Chain A
Amino acid sequence: MPLLEMKDVYLHFGGIMALNGVSFGVRKGEIFAIIGPNGAGKTSIFNCISGLYHPDRGKIIFKKKEINKLSPHRRAQLGLARSFQNIELFKGMTVIDNLMLGRHIHMRTDLITGGIFFGKARREEVRHREVVEEIIDFLEIQNIRKKPVGTLAYGLQKRVELGRALALDPNVLLLDEPMAGMNAEETEDMARFILDINEERDVTIVLIEHDMGVVMDISDRICALDFGVKISEGRPDEIQSDPKVISAYLGGEEVV
């Protein structure tokens, strides 16, 4: 039984079919990559899973529960976290505050206890601050923890966004092009973080990425998409040798 499953999902924008009957299942503990040319519908899948888009037809099942009707914040509470293709951090806030927002669903402070602050709210702040600091250590961003996110370099912002998603303590982490626009060293770091998150924290990862080298190296299974249709699914070596993938996505050339 897959942990996260798309069953025959259709989504259209006007006359364009963004998703045309897409189905796949992500098993617990794996790194599952979604690849495809630009406009294939990869990010649309993520938006359907996290609840920003509502599919016309089909089911999205997470932890044996149909989540189609749930609002995005309920899905986050269930254990779904994601990062965005274009960084969606809270730019005016510091790195710590951004990560603390990731802890939002695990905290209870409300307008009354928060307004009093001393006592309950402060204890909770400290407790979750410890969790956040642990993530800061893990991602090696100690030196920028008090900086407003908007002032950071692009690669670091990507890392902070990963940290914020991680702070939710999710079961499934959706990463939308985490390596986009990074240099070789940053890409390598990011790949290492993803593997560590997967292995040490036991987080299932769904990954959209254009860097084929990374995708083939770190993913357990891959799903290839073209014009909203799934054209192939399988282990990296199977995908590499699939003629449909090669012609649709790689233009007939050999995969790295």
Chain B
Amino acid sequence: MQQCGIFHETYTEDMAIFQTPFSRFWMGLFFVFLAIFPFISKPINAVLGTNTLYLANLIGIYIIGAHGLNLLTGFTGQISLGHGAFMGVGAYASAILTMKLGIPFLIALPLAGLITAMVGMVFGIPSLRLKGLYLAIATMAAQFIIEYAMRNWTTLTGGSAGMSVRPPSFFGFYIDSDRSYYYLIYVFVILATIYTKNIIRSRPGRAFVAIRDRYLAAEVIGVNVWLYRILSFGISSFMVGIAGGLWAHYVLVISDEHFVIWLSVQYLAMIIIGGMGHVMGGIYGAIFMVLLPELLRIPEHYLTVINPNAFAIFHSLRDGVFGLIIILFLIFEPDGLAARWHTIKNYWKLWPFSY
């Protein structure tokens, strides 16, 4: 049911994200699904033997962070190995603002984002001089410095004992169930996705991509490369800080060991698998990274029936399988799931007469 030939009469129409009634219809259907998912998750949980609503919330939080890293790495071409720690900054900032200063959640969360943006911009200063691997090492230093601060600044963060956080409340309602938190998270997911898409299709996003593709040419046509590099770090950290804040108020206990370099690597893996430089890349990547370990748990479950030791054997293999799948991905689909999706869509467009 694809339209053959899309004809625009105004530039506004040409800029629309969903260009055909067909894609608008499916998008609408998808939003309906998102809205009713918490009510149909129970039977799904029973079949899969896992809490899918919890997984959906986790995916939502990772999507926000992955969009942030995608803006920085996928679109501006600046690698960061510090986003795990930046997420921690957001989590702690939001926790401290609400718990110690008594600021309401809805104000504390954007403030936490701003604080993270500030921290990200400071650690982004090396990006003015460094690129590629060198920048990776510089941002890794940020990761370790922030980790150290979270662990040892005990008066502020509670050190390795962690810090307990209250669930957010609006006008006396506590958002403390998976279901209510789901709606809170997905409001932010939708906002973050629209924001990312809008940035990419307007002036700042084009400047980011120009810096990624050819920074000398970008400079010569009038893009303030220094400013945009720092802005990219700022906006990217802001989003990952929001993700951190949402995470803190969801899991209710935060400690430094959540925000280690493994989380930074996971974020990078998400956008690489999902597709760097595609807005959908962050979404696909987050879904993939959360669901893959869960899917690997299913064979474990069935093999235990045959051999009681299977759990022990397979569990230790799981990380290996996880790594193997990522490697296979990089070999066979280096452009990520977003590119694969495009290929599939283009194939079906003309099916069955592809030639």
Give A contacts to B, CB under 8 Å: 50-52, 71-73, 76-77, 81-82, 84, 88-93, 97, 100-102, 104-105, 107-111, 114-117, 121-122, 124-126, 129-130, 133, 164-165, 168
Contacts and interface: CB of A to CB of B under 8 A. Distances in A.
B204 A97 contact: no
Interface in B292-331: none
18 contacts: A73-B224, A76-B222, A90-B209, A90-B210, A100-B203, A102-B221, A104-B207, A108-B203, A114-B202, A115-B199, A117-B202, A121-B202, A122-B15, A124-B203, A125-B15, A125-B202, A129-B11, A168-B221
Contacts of A77: 222
Interface in B175-207: 195, 198-199, 201-207
Given A73-B222, A111-B199, A126-B12, 5 more contacts: A81-B221, A101-B221, A105-B221, A108-B203, A114-B203
A89 B220 CA distance: 12
Contacts of A111: 199, 204, 231, 235
Given A114-B198, A114-B202, A91 B217 contact: no
Nearest to A92: B213
Contacts of B223: 73, 101, 104
B225 interface: yes
B216 interface: yes
Contacts of B84: none
A88 B217 contact: yes
B277 to A, nearest CB: 7
B203 A109 contact: yes
A133 B169 CA distance: 51
Interface of B: 10-12, 15, 195, 198-199, 201-207, 209-210, 213-214, 216-225, 231, 235, 277
Contacts of A97: 206, 209
Contacts of B235: 111
Contacts of A110: 203-204
Contacts of A164: 221
Contacts of B225: 73
B25 to A, nearest CB: 21
A114 B199 contact: yes
B207 to A, nearest CB: 6
Contacts of A124: 203
Contacts of A84: 217
Nearest to B217: A88
B189 to A, nearest CB: 15
Contacts, number: 109
A105 B216 contact: no
B221 A126 contact: no
Contact of B198 (A76, A115, A129): A115
A80 B202 CA distance: 23
Contacts of B231: 111
A107 B214 contact: no
A152 B199 CA distance: 26
B216 A126 contact: no
B203 A88 contact: no
A129 B12 CA distance: 10
B51 to A, nearest CB: 33
Nearest to A106: B222
Nearest to B191: A115
A129 B11 CA distance: 8
B204 A92 contact: no
Nearest to B202: A114
A152 to B, nearest CB: 15
A73 to B, nearest CB: 5
Contact of A109 (B10, B202, B209): B202
A62 to B, nearest CB: 14
A110 B205 CA distance: 9
A26 to B, nearest CB: 18
Contact of B221 (A76, A93, A108, A122): A76
B204 A114 contact: yes
A101 B210 contact: yes
B282 to A, nearest CB: 15
B11 A114 contact: no
B213 A115 contact: no
Nearest to B219: A72
B202 A104 contact: no
Contacts of A91: 213-214
Contacts of A130: 11
Contacts of A125: 11, 15, 201-202
B12 A90 contact: no
B217 A107 contact: no
